[in-house]
Amino acid sequence: MNKLVAALAGFLVPFVAYAAVQEEAAPLPPPDTSPWAMIIFTLLFVGMIVGFFAYMWVKDRNRKREGSQS
């Protein structure tokens, strides 16, 4: 397995070097000046975290209710 990884790494070195040279020659993309992408990402990220904890809280509450009835 080690020989395979070493061979693969040696095989990919020229491609990495070529990509590095081409990246320097390519013009940089214009910066994104609109804040909407970051706002949407932040809302989705925070919403998913809050949703996860709300789900865990409801699930724990239901488990405690069913445990106390038995």
Q: What confidence tens digit (pLDDT) does each residue in 38-70 have? A: 999 999 999 999 999 999 999 999 998 888 765
- Mean per-residue pLDDT, 28-39: 84
Q: 10 Å Cβ neighbour count for 10?
A: 9
Q: For the chain, what is the domain count?
A: 1
Instruction: Please tell me the predicted confidence (pLDDT) of residue 44.
Output: 98
Q: By three-state DSSP, how is residue 34 classified?
A: coil
The rounded distance, in Å, linking the Cα atoms of 14 and 12 is 6
Average pLDDT, the chain: 85
- Mean per-residue pLDDT, 22-30: 70
In which domain, by residue range, is 24 found?
A: 2-69
Instruction: Please tell me the predicted confidence (pLDDT) of residue 29.
Output: 76
